[in-house]
Amino acid sequence: MKRTAIILGSVLLATPVFAQSVGEKTGVNSTLGIAPTTADFVKEVAISDMFEIASNKLAHDKGNAAEKSFATMMVTDHTKTSTELKALVTSGKVKAEIPAGLDSAHQTKLDKLKSQSGKDFSASFNSYQLDAHKDAVNLFERYAKGGDNADLKDWAGRTLPALKHHLEMAQNLKK
């Protein structure tokens, strides 16, 4: 009985440290409002920017007029945030690695967009943009409030208003 209690106690004590990265992957951190680790934040932001740039370039070719207008701003703004994030990492102010490519979930979405056209493309694109910007606002809010790197935390806070504007624009695409 004591052995079980010790093992359970050890697991409970280790869970906060272990759960940060797992929590971000599973969405637990988001649900609980817990800030991601610096490494998780950098990874999520970099992948999000890559997806935004690639998917919005597709919208330039396949989208309707509203989507093309939205896409122009998204490519410009997400290229800017991607450049800023890389500068923070390469300067040494942020200790994290930027992934070289999309994760499988984002690649699957991009592949689906590549195979679609017309109303099917618009439906998927608009849904992906809305979800991506909801997630981005949530991620940036959590890091700006509780992140563990002052420079990155400041950058997240300064970037947040633009992301909130992107979210409003994505909501309007669905109308």
Q: What's the whole-number mean pLDDT along residues 7-27?
A: 46
More confident residue, 129 or 6: 129
Per-residue pLDDT at 145? 96
Q: What's the whole-number mean pLDDT along residues 115-133?
A: 97
pLDDT in tens, 66-80: 999 999 999 999 999
Per-residue pLDDT at 129? 97
Per-residue pLDDT at 2? 54
pTM of the model: 0.83
The encoded tokens of residue 48 equal 């999000």
d(CA 13, CA 30): 21
Per-residue pLDDT at 11? 41
> Given a cut of 60, is residue 46 above it in pLDDT?
yes
* Superfamily (CATH H level) for 35-173: Ferritin, core subunit, four-helix bundle (1.20.1260.10)
Confidence of residue 32 (pLDDT cuts 50, 70, 90): confident
Q: In the chain, what is the straight-line distance between the N-terminal and C-terminal CA atoms, in Å?
A: 60
Is the separation of the CB atoms in 85 and 98 below 8 Å?
Answer: yes
> Given a cut of 80, is residue 21 above it in pLDDT?
no
pLDDT in tens, 136-162: 999 999 999 999 999 999 999 999 999
Residue 166: name the closest of 123, 131, 118, 124 by CA.
Answer: 131
Per-residue pLDDT at 33? 77
